[in-house]
Amino acid sequence: MMLEINKLNKSYGSHCALSELDLRVQEGEIFGLLGPNGAGKTTLIRIINQIIEQDSGEVLMDGLLLSGESIRKIGYLPEERGLYKKMSVWDQLIYFSRIKGLTALEAKQRVNHWLERFEIASWKGKKIEDLSKGMAQKIQFIATVIHQPRLLILDEPFSGFDPVNAALLKSEIINLKKEGTTILLSTHRMESVELLCDQVAMIHKSKKLLDGSIRDIKSRFRPAQIRVTLELGNMPLPNQWEVEFTEENRVSLLLPLQGQSPNQLLRELMSFGEILAFQELFPSMEEIFIQQINSSVDA
Amino acid sequence: MHKVLLVIQREYLARVKKKSFLIATLLTPLIFPAILAVFVWIAVEEKENQSLRVIEVVDETGLFFMESSEQYAFSSSSKTLEEAKALVLEGERYGALYLPKMELSSPQGIQFYGIENPSTALISYLEAALKRKVEDLRLYAKGIDPAVLKQIRTQVKIQSLTLGDAGEEVISDATVNYALGFLAGILIYLFIFIYGNQIMQGVIEEKSTRIVEILVSSLRPFQLMMGKIVGIGAVGLTQFLIWVFLVGMLSTIVVGVLGMQMPQQQAMEMANPELMSATSESGDLGGLLYVIESIDFVSLIVSFIFYFLGGYLLYGALFAAVGAAVDAPSDAQQFMFPITIPLLVGYMGLFVFVLQDPSSSVSFWLSIVPLTSPIAMMGRISYGVPFWELALSMSLLVIGFLGTTWMASKVYRIGILMHGTKPTYRTLLKWIRTNH
């Protein structure tokens, strides 16, 4: 177990940022931490990074409580980013790797390795203020992973990245996962992580609403909705069926399952004509999320 | 621990490598000898190029005979005031001195006419000359011979000596002590302000660019804060030591070159009019040098460095706390008062009290209280300070900077992660009280 979080509480004055939060992050997976702004994601991340302390509860990494030793194992890309503007790329990367605990020699090797990996070795002597925003983002990412962290924490990783760099970042995330890095990814933009994450947890107003694998969550919230395309026969359709559109004698229908199995529905449909398409509709994570928030507000 | 060293190293190198550091470090010490040289040069030029100024004396009493000097010649050819004024207007005369008929017991109605405003030096020269003439005349009227009078006139000069604990006598000179105290006090004041501001700017930079978030995930906020303060302090110390070296070298060269061009005493007088009264007669220059030699420069420099570092650490922590509390330099103003006010009190106190009377009780308190002592004590040290006072002042300064550092670290660790809210003094107090 890479990360185990038990009954974590944190409040700022009267404002509760995290309450009784439990999380499990397995080694080698990409874990999505989802929730709207102000849900408590950044607070949780800051606690894991030992920037702030929890009021109660515990955070275990590799089964051990967080300590100074954990710093080297974690790489952290905060939501808002910045580098020393007047410092050169080389000095900056060396500084961040040394701060993370690498020796001078290790630091040099790692920086060279990454500059070559991104084919930007010629930027070494440039100051950050002379780089474009996209270039600076690459440096920022290198600074985050330079010490080969086993746990990579990315807070809203795609915000602020242009599409080219966002794609690069995505492929680097997948590469790092292949190399065995565990990745904790926090975002309020669900669509960006749906394809990336193995596991997710949704946080809202300091509490965990649900967690599990994406497939798991989706099937738990499997909708009672099927999209069917029919070539109509002679039987008129029941009035309560919702017709999406009609094209000559083809109709597309959105049908709730209403306790039936798909096969039962299929059988029923066959009597109305020729079935051209039959598709179960999964809700997007965003829809599940909004639905969950609304039901938690109602409750 | 080695992470603090990394921070110190970064802060130090980031500043020392800058071109502006090199320029400021090399040019500043050039400024003092340059100013000195310019003054001397102007004085020499003026003396050489001066044309004699002729002043027409219209003396209705017939009693005054004005002696001409190097600069002024007096012509007394019994003209009327109107004729004299006409000469001035034509440019024939620099000015006209009008002495109407008057009672010698209360001379009144003396006037000077000129095209341009006469210098105060000329007016006081005339006043002194006339005063002496009037006094001479009145003494003569009372039956005292001017020749006798000339014999009686004497010059008095006091040599001041300080008695050491063992009763040893040291020739002191208030002017030299004044100059040293003045210089040391101002230097500390400037260093605290300049480098304190750099700390604040640095903290704000790291906070506003959110670099701090990455940094504090790797090291403790306290390590980060101390690393910054110590690193920038080392920059200041480096700059100071380079200055000491450069000023010493350049001054030696300048004095050496000038020494060949004009008598040294004259050069000293030109450079510092205050010294003129102290060394008015020839032969006193040796005395002045003797006084300078008798000052214990080693202990002066050691205590300068102590108060420099102590004052810097004390205020540096406060500057760091302010930087952590705000989002932008423009917001920092509201928290600057608790820093600027005691610094200004120390600075003003140095001039108004300490340098005037180093052993008064106000001077004593200013040099004991840690917020003002770095500046005020430097004003006293060259005059000699009892050991126990120095020890008390120094230990209080150490306690003082430990205190401000403790307070600042509390504000710092919370402040650097706060964005978008403008804290008040009350929130700062709450942060200081927060326990973690």
pLDDT band at B50 (very low <50, low <70, confident <90, very high): low
Q: Minimal Cα distance from B18: which residue of A?
A: A86
The answer on pLDDT for A221 being more than 80 is: no
Task: Give B118-129 pLDDT, tens digit per residue.
Answer: 878 788 888 888
Q: Which residues of chain B have a CB within 8 Å of the CB of A83?
A: 209, 211
Tell me which residues of chain A have a C-beta less than 8 Å from any C-beta of chain B.
Answer: 46, 49-53, 71, 74, 76, 78, 80-87, 95-96, 98-101, 143-144
Q: Which residues of chain A have a CB within 8 Å of the CB of B415?
A: none
Q: Which residues of chain A have a CB within 8 Å of the CB of B205?
A: 84-85
Per the CB < 8 A criterion, the answer to whether A57 and A7 are in contact is yes
Q: What is the pLDDT of residue B386?
A: 85
Is residue B53 less than 8 Å (CB to CB) from chain A? no
Q: What is the pLDDT of residue B260?
A: 61
Q: Which of B387, B405, B406, B397 is nearest to B366 (CA)?
A: B397
The answer on pLDDT for B378 being more than 60 is: yes
State mean pLDDT over A44-67.
Answer: 90
* DSSP sequence for B325-394: H-SSGGGTHHHHHHHHHHHHHHHHHIIIIITT-TTSHHHHHHTTSTTTHHHHHHHHHTT---HHHHHHHH
State mean pLDDT over B223-246.
Answer: 90
The Cα of B409 is separated from the nearest Cα of chain A by a number of Å equal to 14
Verify whether the Cβ–Cβ distance B213 to A96 is below 8 Å: no
Task: Give A37-48 pLDDT, tens digit per residue.
Answer: 888 898 999 999
Cβ-based neighbours of B79, under 8 Å, separated by 6 or more: B56, B58, B87
The answer on pLDDT for B36 being more than 90 is: no
- Alpha-carbon separation of residue B374 from A8, A115, B321 (angstroms): 48, 49, 20
The answer on pLDDT for B51 being more than 80 is: no
Q: What is the pLDDT of residue B295?
A: 67
Q: What is the pLDDT of residue B259?
A: 61
Task: Give A281-292 pLDDT, tens digit per residue.
Answer: 777 777 888 887
Per the CB < 8 A criterion, the answer to whether B191 and B197 are in contact is no
Q: What is the pLDDT of residue B284?
A: 54
State mean pLDDT over A195-199.
Answer: 87
Neighbours of B26 (CB within 10 A): 12
- Alpha-carbon separation of residue B378 from A82, B307, B363 (angstroms): 42, 8, 11
Verify whether the Cβ–Cβ distance A85 to B210 is below 8 Å: no
Interface test with B, best of A84, A139, A140, A153 (most B CBs within 10 A): A84
Q: Minimal Cα distance from A53: which residue of B?
A: B436
Verify whether the Cβ–Cβ distance B6 to A49 is below 8 Å: no
Task: Give B263-274 pLDDT, tens digit per residue.
Answer: 545 545 555 544
What is the average pLDDT score of chain A? 87
The answer on pLDDT for A229 being more than 60 is: yes
The answer on pLDDT for A14 being more than 70 is: yes
ipTM of the complex: 0.78
Q: Minimal Cα distance from B209: which residue of A?
A: A82
Is residue B205 less than 8 Å (CB to CB) from chain A? yes
How many CB pairs (< 8 A) connect A and B? Answer: 51
Mean pLDDT check: name the lowest of B10-14, B98-102, B174-178: B174-178
Amino acid at B254: V
**Closest to B215 (Cβ–Cβ): which among A50, A87, A99?**
A99
Interface test with A, best of B214, B215, B216, B427 (most A CBs within 10 A): B214
Q: Minimal Cα distance from B436: which residue of A?
A: A53
Helix (H, G, I), strand (E, B) or coil at B91: coil
HEC assignment per residue over B236-294 = HHHHHHHHHHHHHHHHHHHHHHHHHHCCHHHHHHHHCHHHHHHCCCCCHHHHHHHHHHH
Distance CA A201, CA B333 (A): 44
Q: Which of B125, B132, B139, B145 is nearest to B53 (CA)?
A: B125
Taking the alpha carbons at both ends of chain A, their separation in whole angstroms is 33
The answer on pLDDT for B289 being more than 80 is: no
Verify whether the Cβ–Cβ distance B436 to A81 is below 8 Å: no
The answer on pLDDT for A225 being more than 70 is: yes
What is the average pLDDT score of chain B? 82
pLDDT band at A111 (very low <50, low <70, confident <90, very high): very high
Distance CA B183, CA B193 (A): 15
Amino acid at B189: Y
Per the CB < 8 A criterion, the answer to whether B180 and B288 are in contact is no
Neighbours of A100 (CB within 10 A): 26
Interface test with A, best of B7, B218, B414 (most A CBs within 10 A): B218
User: What sign results for the dihedral spanned by CA atoms B291, B293, B294, B298?
Assistant: positive
pLDDT band at B282 (very low <50, low <70, confident <90, very high): very low
Amino acid at A187: T
Task: Give B154-173 pLDDT, tens digit per residue.
Answer: 778 777 676 766 666 666 66
Per the CB < 8 A criterion, the answer to whether A32 and A8 are in contact is no
Per the CB < 8 A criterion, the answer to whether B122 and B72 are in contact is yes
β-strands B111-114, A207-213: how paired? unpaired
State mean pLDDT over B36-64.
Answer: 78
Helix (H, G, I), strand (E, B) or coil at A13: coil
Helix (H, G, I), strand (E, B) or coil at B182: helix
Q: Minimal Cα distance from A144: which residue of B?
A: B214
Verify whether the Cβ–Cβ distance A96 to B6 is below 8 Å: no
**Closest to A51 (Cβ–Cβ): which among B14, B209, B417?**
B417
DSSP 8-state symbol, B112:
E
- Alpha-carbon separation of residue B107 from B123, B125, B392 (angstroms): 16, 17, 59
Is residue B220 less than 8 Å (CB to CB) from chain A? no
Per the CB < 8 A criterion, the answer to whether B172 and B288 are in contact is no
* DSSP sequence for B296-339: -HHHHHHHHHHHHHHHHHHHHHHHHHHHHH-SSGGGTHHHHHHH
Number of H helices, E strands in chain A: 9, 14
Verify whether the Cβ–Cβ distance B210 to A143 is below 8 Å: no
Distance CA B234, CA B206 (A): 20
Distance CA A92, CA A111 (A): 10
State mean pLDDT over B377-404.
Answer: 89
State mean pLDDT over B260-285.
Answer: 49
β-strands A250-256, A242-247: how paired? antiparallel
Verify whether the Cβ–Cβ distance B214 to A76 is below 8 Å: yes
Share of chain A above pLDDT 90, in %: 33
State mean pLDDT over B362-383.
Answer: 88
pLDDT band at A246 (very low <50, low <70, confident <90, very high): confident
Model-wide pTM > 0.80: no
Task: Give B308-347 pLDDT, tens digit per residue.
Answer: 999 999 999 999 999 999 988 888 888 888 889 999 999 9
State mean pLDDT over A168-186.
Answer: 92
The Cα of A17 is separated from the nearest Cα of chain B by a number of Å equal to 15
Cβ-based neighbours of A45, under 8 Å, separated by 6 or more: A33, A76, A153, A155, A184, A186
Q: Minimal Cα distance from B427: which residue of A?
A: A13
User: What sign results for the dihedral spanned by CA atoms A173, A178, A183, A188?
Assistant: positive
The Cα of A99 is separated from the nearest Cα of chain B by a number of Å equal to 6
Q: What is the pLDDT of residue B168?
A: 65
Q: What is the pLDDT of residue A280?
A: 80
Q: What is the pLDDT of residue B391?
A: 92
pLDDT band at A299 (very low <50, low <70, confident <90, very high): low
The Cα of B209 is separated from the nearest Cα of chain A by a number of Å equal to 5
Verify whether the Cβ–Cβ distance A86 to B10 is below 8 Å: no
Verify whether the Cβ–Cβ distance A46 to B417 is below 8 Å: yes
CA B2 from centre of chain: 41
pLDDT band at B402 (very low <50, low <70, confident <90, very high): very high
pLDDT band at A266 (very low <50, low <70, confident <90, very high): confident
